[in-house]
Structure 1
Amino acid sequence: MTATVPRRPQKVSFRDRLLRLAETVTTPLLPADYLDLVAPLHSGVALRGRIVAVRPETRDAATLVVQPGRGWRGHLPGQYVRLGVDVDGVRQWRAYSVTSAPGATDRRITITVKAIPDGKVSNHLVRRVRPGTIVQLDQAQGDFTMPAATPERVLFLTAGSGITPVMAMLRAGLPARADVVLVHSAPGRDDVIFGAELRRLAASGALRLVERHTDSAGLLGVHELDDLVPDHTERETWACGPVGLLDAAEEHWAARGVAERLHTERFRPTVISPGEGGTVTFTGAGVSVEADGATPILDAGENAGVLMPSGCRMGICFGCVVPLRQGAVRDLRNGDLTTAVPGDGVLIQTCVSAAAGTCDIEI
């Protein structure tokens, strides 16, 4: 004879009961969806950051102090981060070097931006953005970094905002581990980003600083390094700045037979012109279609025979999220524009996004 033992009722915690009640109230969304609105930096959402301070550096440059969300995995000195910010209703993405040393106790990072003529995003960040602004973040990336075994002698060749990735290396203690020479070019003394800090390091003997003020002394020619830094081809060198400087440096180091000792970081231009509709290319499928500004990209792809991921088709479930490789799309719910250039890693919901110009979808 088998005895049946009554099953004890499972205890449900007060917290679980509250969550279940919340889910019934917020259906079809989950409480976490609403948490995004009140706690945008919590770990369950796409990585974001809050600008907590804006510090002027020069007349056209400023440092943003950013508190990243809990998903931030840190950075190596010299790496950059892609930052997404809404400017006049358009989500714009740009890459900026992280200028702080890793491992701050408050987990905050700094990003230093130089405003360029007609630069929509850079001018917004330097002159208009305010503390409290929420920005989108990507994880840090880039290989413009020091190797595990620090070279004994290091040369930095920089101009303008090219000093920004180098600053993180200096702040991380590189001068204590290597013989460092920094050759930096800027229009004038007051235009040198981090000028006061660099001069203090030089005065303390931590590094040798060579400043070139182009308004009075003209552009720096790479051939001048023979006199300025006689052993420059024997040093492991990191160069960052305008294209002309980097092209000349690469030719110079190659001509001396030491091209492998030169490491460069190039900033890329970004030109996106949003419009109404455009050519949508599904890169993986090798299919391009013309789509108007009112047709969801999901529908445009399916109508062209592309196998598209989808779910609710209402912008709720996020089952249709794919990368926007480049171009511009418009959110059909509110008209917001999102732009991207190759490498930005921007994700979009195809069921509620329409083409706002030529765009490439990674699928």
Structure 2
Amino acid sequence: MSAPSIDRPTTVPGARRARLGASTPGPLGGVLRGARRVAEALASPLVPADYLDLLDPMRTGADLRGRIVEVRPETADAVTVVIRPGRGWLGHVPGQYIRIGIDIDGVRHWRAYSLTHRADGSPAAGIPAGCIAITTKAIPDGKVSTHLVRSTAAGTLVMLDQATGEFTLPTPAPAKVLFLTAGSGITPVMGMLRNHLGELEDVAHVHCAPTADDVIFADELRGHAADGRLALALNLDDEHGVLHLERLDTLVPDWRERETWLCGPTGLLDAAEAHWEAAGIAERLHTERFRPTVVEPGEGGTVTFLRAGRVVEADGSTPILDAGEDAGVLMPSGCRMGICFGCVVTMRSGAVRDLRTGEVTVVEDDATLPVQTCINAVAGTCDLEL
């Protein structure tokens, strides 16, 4: 695998004009979008590849892009985004995720989302052949997820990375499987179900959501259960309370005998890891995290963003990435969980604390240090080249 690249927020010339024609249907929309591209080309210095990108942005050899063809509501605050990828798309293994780059108010933001379509490219669940799909839920203060759910229209061009991730089923698949999911944590598991359910002999699925209306893919899950293809247990907070893992003895009495794939909020993942460890079967639990596990926070301090000329106070539990974004600093970002290295910036002086391990790293003398801002908090003071 090649070394991870560093993606920085990109101010896109004319990005506010990019709405021109984006949601206009038919030939008129095409004319408006073409006019916008020509206007941007005249206003910006281009190299030969840029002209090719203007004519065919999803051509072979170009940076990987995709065109959104549909934004389909799943619940009141969740959508499935169907994307037709460019010709450089290499495919995926069910359960993997992809990074999406989308321009919002002139800045390109990258986020990681699990893929939910058929890996062989065939149509499934209303997703057209040759298209890929992600499903996202709008979260409080979630700039990209909220934009995708509330504002994104068909026709939008997005940047793509190739699929990655190890939250996948082995070959051959285990005889007995338990899927344990909560909220949008169901998305990688739905990718597995749409691709592998026919190969799995004995499947139990426990899914947690605040209410019945918040269950993403509810009809599809209930359909599989009605057909006898999986044993489904819904834990709804308003009816059953928040799931306590002791209830697994009732919901799935043989859970200790099953290989388990778990995806959901950090609290559930931490509790499950302790529960499986106490049962002496930690090796049977496979997890996917949206955010890294955070140890006890330190004292925090002051972050200075040198180029922005901004000084920000941050507590010891807040990632520098979040602190900078909250203060209006344009921060590079990617997966936001320490995997892709898309958030790396240079620290000129000071100290940071790794939120996963508690380890403090200090810049010595006149040295500089690359820092992942999504998994580090300030420890006293730190000066960043940003």
* TM-score, with length taken from structure 2: 0.65
Quote how far apart the aligned CAs of 1:53 are. Answer: 0.5
Paired position in structure 2 for 1:71: 88
Quote how far apart the aligned CAs of 1:239 are. Answer: 0.5
Quote how far apart the aligned CAs of 1:215 are. Answer: 1.3
Paired position in structure 2 for 1:216: 239
2:268 to 240, 245, 253: 245
Q: State yes or no: 1:61 paired with 2:78.
A: yes
Q: State yes or no: 1:110 paired with 2:133.
A: yes
Paired position in structure 2 for 1:96: 113
With over 3 angstroms needed to count, the CA separation of the structure-2 counterparts of 1:45 and 1:262, relative to structure 1, is same
CA distance in 1, matches of 2:236, 2:83: 31
Superposed CA offset, 1:194-253 (max 9, x none): 000000000001101001111121101011101111110110000110111111110111
What residue identity is the alignment partner of 2:81?
A: L
Quote how far apart the aligned CAs of 1:176 are. Answer: 3.6
Contact map agreement 1:52 1:67 (CA 8 A) in 2: yes
With over 3 angstroms needed to count, the CA separation of the structure-2 counterparts of 1:29 and 1:159, relative to structure 1, is closer
Quote how far apart the aligned CAs of 1:278 are. Answer: 5.8
Larger Rg: 1
CA distance in 1, matches of 2:89, 2:277: 38
State the SS of the aligned residue for 1:268. coil
Paired position in structure 2 for 1:162: 185
Quote how far apart the aligned CAs of 1:32 are. Answer: 2.9
State the SS of the aligned residue for 1:65. strand
Q: State yes or no: 1:84 paired with 2:107.
A: no
Quote how far apart the aligned CAs of 1:45 are. Answer: 1.7
Q: State yes or no: 1:140 paired with 2:163.
A: yes
Alignment of 1:288-303 (within 5 A): 290-291=306-307
Alignment of 1:1-363 (within 5 A): 30-105=47-122, 106-268=129-291, 279=305, 290-291=306-307, 339-340=332-333, 341=336, 342-344=338-340, 346=342
Identity %: 58
CA distance in 1, matches of 2:148, 2:162: 19
State the SS of the aligned residue for 2:72. strand
Superposed CA offset, 1:335-357 (max 9, x none): x9562154446599xxxxxxxx9
State the SS of the aligned residue for 2:269. helix
Contact map agreement 2:180 2:206 (CA 8 A) in 1: yes
Quote how far apart the aligned CAs of 1:48 are. Answer: 1.1
CA distance in 2, matches of 1:278, 1:68: 39
Alignment gaps of 5+ in structure 2: 1-41, 123-128, 293-302, 310-320, 345-381
With over 3 angstroms needed to count, the CA separation of the structure-2 counterparts of 1:34 and 1:185, relative to structure 1, is same
State the SS of the aligned residue for 2:153. coil
State the SS of the aligned residue for 2:229. coil
Superposed CA offset, 1:130-174 (max 9, x none): 001011111111100001220000000111001000001100032
Superposed CA offset, 1:253-311 (max 9, x none): 10011000000111028xxxxxxx965xxxxxxxxxx4467xxxxxxxxxxxxxxxxxx
State the SS of the aligned residue for 1:172. helix
CA distance in 1, matches of 2:280, 2:385: 40
CA distance in 2, matches of 1:250, 1:347: 28
What residue identity is the alignment partner of 1:98?
A: L
CA distance in 2, matches of 1:178, 1:54: 33
CA distance in 1, matches of 2:82, 2:180: 26
The number of residue pairs the alignment matches comes to 274
Contact map agreement 1:85 1:93 (CA 8 A) in 2: yes
CA distance in 1, matches of 2:173, 2:53: 42
> After the TM superposition, which of the residue ranges 38-47 and 241-250 deviates more from structure 2?
38-47
With over 3 angstroms needed to count, the CA separation of the structure-2 counterparts of 1:60 and 1:141, relative to structure 1, is same
With over 3 angstroms needed to count, the CA separation of the structure-2 counterparts of 1:278 and 1:35, relative to structure 1, is farther
Paired position in structure 2 for 1:318: none
Contact map agreement 2:331 2:343 (CA 8 A) in 1: no
> After the TM superposition, which of the residue ranges 29-38 and 40-49 deviates more from structure 2?
29-38
Contact map agreement 1:327 1:358 (CA 8 A) in 2: no
State the SS of the aligned residue for 1:173. helix
What residue identity is the alignment partner of 1:75?
A: H
Contact map agreement 1:91 1:338 (CA 8 A) in 2: no
CA distance in 1, matches of 2:289, 2:197: 22
Quote how far apart the aligned CAs of 1:327 are. Answer: 9.4
Superposed CA offset, 1:9-49 (max 9, x none): xxxxxxxxxxxxxxxxx9x9554320111211112221111
With over 3 angstroms needed to count, the CA separation of the structure-2 counterparts of 1:60 and 1:207, relative to structure 1, is same
CA distance in 1, matches of 2:385, 2:188: 30
CA distance in 2, matches of 1:32, 1:151: 48
